[in-house]
Amino acid sequence: MNKKKIIASSLVVALLMGYIPRFSFASESIGKNYRYYGDNRYLTSVEISKNGFKSADTVIIASGENYPDALCAAPLAKKFNAPILLVSKNSITNEVLQEIQRIGAKNVFIVGGKDVVSDDVKSKIQSLNINVMRVSGKDRYETSYEVAKLVNSDKVVLASGEDFPDALSVAPIAARMGWPILLTQKTICHKKLNSI
């Protein structure tokens, strides 16, 4: 496979349980059990960012309406030491915009096409004088491929793009190891896999 080592998500979980990352949050809650939450998924992503980042040059924006792009973004977020903030297709909350400003982000990656995160959302972020780059393909599979190119590793994780549990389970390990997550269908692997 063009000198690439493909790691099946189930194998990764089985073999690398000792490598599950320990996230260091900036709050005083280290060593204690705390719940980070907001009134909805968008505000929860903001609360996680607030407790995990005092500052960050980069932010990852992904859809909060479906799972694939946000899951694929985990290794990209690790590479750029960036929080993942969720938006809906046609709107971004004031709290998300304020969080982007609070951490002093200069760059934003929007993971997903215009049908997932609209150009209206992109324009609102750009109005903060922030460089915005869209990372996308024609579907979730091609989007995961485009994210994988940015992560740039000699190993990849394959996980189903037809449902979320496997990709969700492996995302922390993939991020920790710097391995991009490529989404696949049950019997079809992305034709561009060999060109990463």
Q: Domains in the chain, start-ordered, CATH in brackets?
A: 5-17+36-189 (3.40.50.12090)
Phi, psi for 134 (deg, rounded to 5)? -90, 130
Residues 132, 123 contacting (CB under 8 angstroms): no
Mean pLDDT of the region 62-88: 96
pLDDT digits (tens, 9 = 90+) for 118-137: 999 999 999 999 999 999 99
Mean pLDDT of the region 95-116: 98
Residues 99, 46 contacting (CB under 8 angstroms): yes
Of the two residues 78 and 166, the one the predictor is more confident about is 78
pLDDT digits (tens, 9 = 90+) for 13-44: 333 333 333 344 444 555 678 888 899 999 99
Q: How many whole angstroms separate alpha carbon 98 and alpha carbon 46?
A: 9
pTM given for the model:
0.81
Mean pLDDT of the region 88-97: 97
Q: What's the Cα-to-Cα distance from 166 to each of 7, 42, 144, 156, 175, rounded to whole Å?
A: 13, 23, 15, 14, 14
Q: 1: pLDDT confidence band, cut at 50, 70 and 90? A: very low
List all residues 6 or more positions away from 71 whose beta carbon is below 8 Å from its beta carbon.
Answer: 159, 164, 167, 168, 171, 181
Q: 196: pLDDT confidence band, cut at 50, 70 and 90? A: low
State residue 25's pLDDT score.
44
Q: What's the Cα-to-Cα distance from 129 to each of 55, 59, 100, 123, rounded to whole Å?
A: 17, 14, 11, 10
- Residue 195 has, within 13 A of its CA and on its CB side, a CA count of 6
Mean pLDDT of the region 45-63: 97
- For the cut 60, the answer to whether the pLDDT of residue 9 exceeds it is no
Q: How many whole angstroms separate alpha carbon 80 and alpha carbon 60?
A: 9
Q: Percentage of the chain with pLDDT > 90?
A: 71
Q: How many whole angstroms separate alpha carbon 53 and alpha carbon 190?
A: 34
Phi, psi for 84 (deg, rounded to 5)? -105, 120
- For the cut 60, the answer to whether the pLDDT of residue 8 exceeds it is no
Which of 50-64, 83-97, 127-141, 153-167 has the least mean pLDDT? 153-167
